[in-house]
Chains A and B, each alone.
Chain A
Amino acid sequence: MKSLAAKRHPLSAAARQVQLLEDPVHDLPGFRETLERHGIRTLRSTALGTLQVNIGKMCNQTCVHCHVDAGPDRKERMDRPTMEACLQAIDAHQIGIVDITGGAPEMHPDFRWFVAEVRKRGARIIVRCNLTIIVSNKKYRDLPEFYRSQGVEVVCSLPFYTAGRTDRQRGDGVFERSIEALRLLNAVGYGTGDSDKVLNMVYNPAGAFLPGSQSDLEQQFKKALLKDHGISFDALFAITNLPISRFLEQLQKSGNYEEYMEKLVNAFNPVTVEGLMCRTMVSVGHDGMLYDCDFNQMLEMPLSAGMPRHIADLPNASVIGRNIVTGRHCYGCTAGAGSSCGGATT
């Protein structure tokens, strides 16, 4: 499968996605409108606890739901000076958590250097790992050992605990290879309850439906993976699919767009607003541009007016208290129990 960008699909353009999401033809309230209806007049950041760094769009997979439109055909990646600017920002703001994502971030030639540099600064490091990268090539097989040596917290993704549903979303044979990678992670002690070797797992629904209770899903995943494959992990993060990029295209193609959006809007839960991840993070794109979150990054919605545009400007700027830039895609974060890169927010 090719990325939307390689196919020159109209929805590969962020502006087209925003246009579709905000189209008044769809009888849906705007996100701000809904916040106001619940007495929430402003949505502001409260801290800068996490820097999420998207180091590139290249990936060994081309999952149908990918909100990054990643794939082997995407060559965009962060250059070394931009990575250095990230490190300066981490120093300047004493940022406690650095969340490294992609694509498959491990494919970046400077990935290991960057992780080691972040570690020197004492920040907690999270790497978003798609699992199959570990077994995709001999040169990646030592990744579990590398993660262990750097005290990396691994957040892996596995769409479901059965092969059929996983492979439909991620490609043939992905489940089997993911299991092989999980075994390698378990073998070096990841996911066995050791706080230095945390292995968390992301679940996101393989279609136009919402995730159910995170704790129930965690129990089911743990039971099935242990019984069928002898695998263990620490916590499950249930994440709602946001209507962005390839998932948006899938929704449109399958005729589920309106129903899915209605579902998200109807499931709006005001209690989730306090824990929205955009309130405590800044997201950096491969080109160094700054956003409130990875989703805004994909929609090319930069930080609000008056805020720095580029990571090189972050060290000398104050971004706490800024207004968060929102749109209808944000309903994905406020539905039900809420959703963030760390799963449910309530």
Chain B
Amino acid sequence: MENNYYDPADLKKFGKITEYQKELGDKYFSYYNDVFKEGALTAREKALIALAVSHTVQCPYCIDAYTVDTLEKGCSEEQMMEAVHVAAAIRSGASLVHSVQMMNKVKALTHG
């Protein structure tokens, strides 16, 4: 065992999750592959969404993988960073919109 939580080499072992539960693992990978196929959204648009979501879930494996994927699909640095800003904006908005609850509570407690 490594004495750190994340090892870049582990990304290559992702496929091995089927070792402990083959049926569900296989279903997951088949679903995953279908999701990223060209559809109503292009494969490139999907890669940019995946890059943004990777930052939201803060998964270093996904960030690495979708940085490479978006580069390969011809995305520019500006497009990649704008995608991350979309994730960040939703994330910060989600915090800020809850401040309405805080304000409601303040007002309720202070009869304001």
User: What residues make up the interface of A, taking CB atoms closer than 8 Å to B?
Assistant: 160-162, 164-165, 205, 207, 209-213, 216-217, 220-221
Contact = CB atoms under 8 A, between A and B. Distances in A.
Nearest to B42: A216
The binding surface of chain B is classed by DSSP as helix
B71 A217 contact: no
B77 A164 contact: yes
Contact of A162 (B43, B68, B73, B78): B78
Contact of A207 (B44, B71, B74): B71
A209 B68 CA distance: 7
The binding surface of chain A is classed by DSSP as loop
Contacts of B21: none
A216 B46 CA distance: 14
Contacts, number: 32
Contact of A212 (B74, B76, B77): B74
Interface residues of B, number: 11
A162 B71 CA distance: 13
Given A162-B78, A216-B44, A205 B73 contact: no
Contacts of B19: none
B77 A205 contact: no
Nearest to A211: B72
A209 to B, nearest CB: 5
Given A209-B68, A216-B44, A165 B73 contact: no
Contact of A160 (B44, B68, B72, B76): B76
A164 B78 CA distance: 10
A205 B43 CA distance: 18
A205 B44 CA distance: 16
Contacts of B68: 209
A216 B72 contact: no
B73 A161 contact: no
Nearest to A236: B74
A48 B53 CA distance: 51
Contacts of B71: 205, 207, 209
26 contacts: A160-B76, A161-B76, A162-B77, A162-B78, A164-B77, A165-B76, A205-B71, A205-B72, A207-B71, A209-B68, A209-B71, A210-B72, A211-B72, A212-B44, A212-B72, A212-B73, A212-B74, A213-B43, A213-B73, A216-B42, A216-B44, A216-B73, A216-B74, A220-B44, A220-B74, A221-B74
